[in-house]
Amino acid sequence: MRADDNMEDLACKRVRTDPLVFVFPSNHRLAAQAAVAPEDIVDETFYLPSKSAPAVRRVVLEYFHRAGIDLKPDHEVHNVVHAISMITSTHAVMLLPAYTARYLPDTITTRPVQGEAPTLDLVIAYHKANKSPILMLLLSRVGRLATAPA
């Protein structure tokens, strides 16, 4: 889960922090680069995460704002499967959390952001009033779970 501003009754514990990476077709011109700068995608078809992923959307918009890029996304995507479909069919570019690379087909690749990459925290959210022993055990072991081999 990604932390959101509208979570007043919930507490969050960070599991890990993921950098965002540029995602595009493997035969895209940007695939020849070791890293991609925000200005490299100005004339590209670019997709933005939709409001159904508010934390990712906010990080992407803030990143381009800080870079001085007036982002004009062509479409919005609702999830990773939708992103894969749209990127493949339209030869588009997106900025997504790095963990999504494990779900991508060989026809899509990723490149790191040149310079300081935007990041997104993955969190466990729970109701503040919940003091169950099982929850407390889970929260005490989050760090070990996050670093365990897949």
How far apart (Å, rounded) are the C-alpha atoms in residues 136 and 40?
46
67 inside domain:
yes
96 inside domain:
yes
Residue range of the domain that includes 97: 19-121
39 inside domain:
yes
- 115 in the Ramachandran plot: left (φ > 0), alpha (ψ -120 to 50) or beta? left
Indicate the number of domains in the chain: 1
For residue 135, what are its two tokens?
Answer: 């929850």
Predicted TM-score (pTM) of this structure: 0.83
How far apart (Å, rounded) are the C-alpha atoms in residues 134 and 117?
35
User: 35: closest CA among 50, 19, 17, 47?
Assistant: 19
Q: Where are the alpha helices (DSSP H) in the chain?
A: 54-66, 80-90, 133-140, 142-147
134 inside domain:
no
Q: Could you tell me the CATH number of the domain that includes residue 76? A: 3.40.190.10
**pLDDT tens, the chain, 150 aa long:** 455 556 678 988 888 889 999 999 999 999 999 999 999 999 999 999 999 888 899 999 999 999 999 988 889 999 999 999 999 999 999 999 998 999 999 999 999 999 999 999 888 889 999 999 999 999 998 877 766 555
